[in-house]
Structure 1
Amino acid sequence: MKVLHVAESIKGGCGTYLDEIVPLQVQALGERQVRCLVPREHAAQLPRVEPGLVRTFGRPGRAAGLPRLARELTRLVDEWQPDLIHAHSTFAGAVSRALSVARRLPPIVYCPHGWVFDVEQPRLMRWATESAERLMAPRSARIVAISDAERRRGEAAGIPAERLVVVPNGIHAKAPMQRAVWPMPRLRVLFVGRLDRQKGVDVLIEAARDLGDKVSVRIVGDAVVAGGRPAPNGDARHIEFLGWMDSAGVAAQINACDVVVMPSRWEGFGLVAVEAMRAGKPVWASAVGGLREVVADGFTGRLFPVGDAAALRTLLRQADRAALRRMGAAGRERFLAHYTSDRTHQALLRLYADVLQLAPSAAARPEIAGEIQ
């Protein structure tokens, strides 16, 4: 079974996903059986994937990159002849499924990694994106939802239920040990993500305003559009912007913090929450989308209303380190039970085998087939 992973952008969660899953698929299927097609500018986001397994296309920008993706995908399908295409996120899904109308392609498994119509947008734009996903759904052998919330949202938009399957994201079980220097007696609060409206960093900044006697806040991430970084009001000396970091840097900051805060306004899954749980750290998150499934409120962290800076401010004021440690330990157990990359990997192999009408054991190399049944 030859699997081709296709992505139009892999900065952020999609890159983390591929860097976790592809090495496991190479181990299970064989080095000659897995390939990735990703932007040349983003290839460094896959440090655990052998460079020889990665084909790239130029992406100076989205508008210029999409036709280049289409051309390179066509060329790679002709040369390598994969048995299955796994398309990641909206634009790779759109390009691959549109191509399948004009020419013969292998079965396409599509994972939106968060529906494009589930973002804040004008009503007409939401109608257009929902309509586009409904129109393209029949070109997908299966559509992978990364949470049950994403599955329900897809069904509500008219995506056929029989095409949707839930496969939660997962990451490697062993947490990196490096720990950043953060010598603060105050509560150490960490945010990781894009500095944009979706991720809600402005909510955290407002909640932490003038709480310098109680908290130290670190913000890891970059703005993706000009002016995306919010300007704190009041005393913000306790709020530190660290910029973008690689996965090792992020892990070191997580290991050093007391709590990870995810004030997202919408979220299909929330991979940062899983990274925090792996490290035994509690998560305070908006009660939205997949975060409501990942974070067990009162057990592995706390949920607060979307956009409610006052509620988050109360959590910051009332934080108890002993309770946070208990939640972190519970989060680690929940992570091991539900969100390891091995679980995601095995679920995907079963899905691929189902799409290709293979027995699960036939999808893997014979010598290890028994390990993935």
Structure 2
Amino acid sequence: MDDARRHNTPRVLQVITHLALGGAEEVAISLAEALQHDVAFTFFTVQGGPRDEIGREFYRRLQACGIPVHSGTVLPMKLGGALAAGFQLRQLIWRLRPDIVQLHTEIPETTFACAALFGLPRELRVIRTIHNTTLWPAWARLGAWTERRLSGAEVVGVSQAARDGLHRFQTAHRVPPAPSRRSQVIYAGVHRSGGPAPRAARPLPPSGPVRVLFAGRLEPQKGVDLVPAIVEHAATLTSRPVELHIAGAGTLEPEIQRWVGTQATPWAVTMGPPIPNLAGALGEGRHDLILMPSRFEGLSLIAVEALLAGVPVIATRIPGPLEVFPDGYPLLAEPEDVPGLAGVLARAIEDLEPLTAHVVSLRSQLRDRFSLEAMGTGYLQLYRQPRPGAAQ
């Protein structure tokens, strides 16, 4: 019997898509860091090892905790990758015999469903952490197939909206939803209680540039395709100098790069790769505003990190983030509303100092709900519960 079983330590296999930019990956790794002394974690990355600086930083963080990392396949999911990674995951499960397999987002869920085709231990607990409100957007049929094979799993939403999104998909595809006793919400944690105080508003002379940041995956979900029109409109509504930086990677990168190279607004616009340790950069005051025109989000770690750092966020009024922003938060617009988002952005630029002071005052409302300690406590309690249906 190994040490984890001898000391009654839960053995949890975390399954993530890859070691690359993603909120689900950040949640899984932060959770492992928070509970490294209470839980024996192992990671399985479906799509292989780190491919960029964000991935390398994730890997270094897991190494620092002594957490083993196993890689899946570089094959595309639709070209046999799901089955290949599923078989590897099945082999790993039989070798490690974890108490719990925790799945983060659709690719790990599909991989686990494929692993189950080859046979898995009957006593295995499965926990799904739901990170988004719109599920299987391009893979509805595959999603329905996977959902039916995960019908016995326990469900954790990173927000109420994320849990509701899963329920909507299951209902639409006639999949019985997880019963309430096996479904709950545990908010993602992004900071340690008692961390550094948020910065004060950066005093700006009239000629000083306001530094705006878009950070995230360059995909339609994040609304990055709306950024050019938002910026071009906002630039006509304020004369204050602005520096906009777009940090990220994704399928829309060539399109955004072309716009950055040809845009004719007075703003200084630059583009670069994802920012490692974005929370640290926000806390150091490198950016004054965050632009987040997302179409859908499960919660938005960037919004939480920014508000806790005292950085105002211009965002859309969508489920998930609405559980982050307090009632009456002044910088929200409707999704897809380019003039509305541009107007809010211009107002934030013009009124930066008072808005920053207002955001700093909100920190006490957010710090406990989105702390790593609160997330860790919630999951540790869940891990230590008996498997549903097990003899008491």
* TM-score band w.r.t. shorter chain: 0.7 to 0.9
How far did residue 355 of structure 1 move?
A: 4.6
Is 1:213 equivalent to 2:220 in the alignment? Answer: no
Length, aligned pairs only:
347
The correspondence for 1:247, drawn from 276, 279, 299, is: 276
Alignment of 1:1-373 (within 5 A): 1-11=10-20, 12-29=22-39, 33-38=40-45, 39-41=48-50, 44=56, 45-50=58-63, 52-63=66-77, 65-105=81-121, 106-114=124-132, 117=135, 119=137, 126=140, 128=141, 131-140=144-153, 142-157=154-169, 158=171, 159-162=177-180, 163-173=182-192, 174=195, 185-209=208-232, 210-211=235-236, 213-214=239-240, 215-224=242-251, 227-229=254-256, 231=259, 235-236=264-265, 238-248=267-277, 251-252=280-281, 255-299=285-329, 302-319=331-348, 320-356=351-387
* 1:27 alignment partner AA: H
CA distance in 2, matches of 1:289, 1:241: 30
Deviations 1:56-114 (A, max 9, x none): 22533433543342233222222221111111111111222343354233111112322
After superposition, the Cα gap between the structure-2 partners of 1:92 and 1:342, relative to the gap in structure 1 and judged at 3 Å, is: same
Judge conservation of contact 1:36–1:53 (CA < 8 Å) in 2: yes
After superposition, the Cα gap between the structure-2 partners of 1:228 and 1:118, relative to the gap in structure 1 and judged at 3 Å, is: farther
How far did residue 250 of structure 1 move?
A: 6.1
* 2:50 alignment partner AA: E
Deviations 1:262-303 (A, max 9, x none): 10011111111111122121222111121111122534x522
CA RMSD after TM alignment: 3.1
After superposition, the Cα gap between the structure-2 partners of 1:341 and 1:96, relative to the gap in structure 1 and judged at 3 Å, is: same
Relative to total residues, which structure has the larger helix share, 1 or 2? 1
CA distance in 2, matches of 1:238, 1:182: 20
Deviations 1:107-153 (A, max 9, x none): 1111232256364x5xxx54x2553354134131x111111111122
Judge conservation of contact 2:133–2:161 (CA < 8 Å) in 1: no
Partner of 2:326, secondary structure, is: coil
Which residues of structure 2 form unaligned runs of 5+?
1-9, 172-176
| Off by >6 Å, runs of 4+ in structure 1 | 181-184
Deviations 1:33-67 (A, max 9, x none): 21111222355223321265223225334335433
CA distance in 2, matches of 1:345, 1:228: 40
* 1:205 alignment partner AA: P
TM-score (norm 1): 0.82
* 1:73 alignment partner AA: L
TM-score (norm 2): 0.78
After superposition, the Cα gap between the structure-2 partners of 1:290 and 1:115, relative to the gap in structure 1 and judged at 3 Å, is: closer
Partner of 1:138, secondary structure, is: coil
Judge conservation of contact 2:109–2:146 (CA < 8 Å) in 1: no
CA distance in 2, matches of 1:132, 1:288: 28
Judge conservation of contact 2:24–2:104 (CA < 8 Å) in 1: yes
After superposition, the Cα gap between the structure-2 partners of 1:330 and 1:176, relative to the gap in structure 1 and judged at 3 Å, is: closer
CA distance in 1, matches of 2:220, 2:23: 17
Which residue of structure 1 lines up, in the alignment, with residue 6 of structure 2? none
How far did residue 161 of structure 1 move?
A: 4.1
Judge conservation of contact 2:83–2:115 (CA < 8 Å) in 1: no
* 2:113 alignment partner AA: R
Residue identity (%): 21
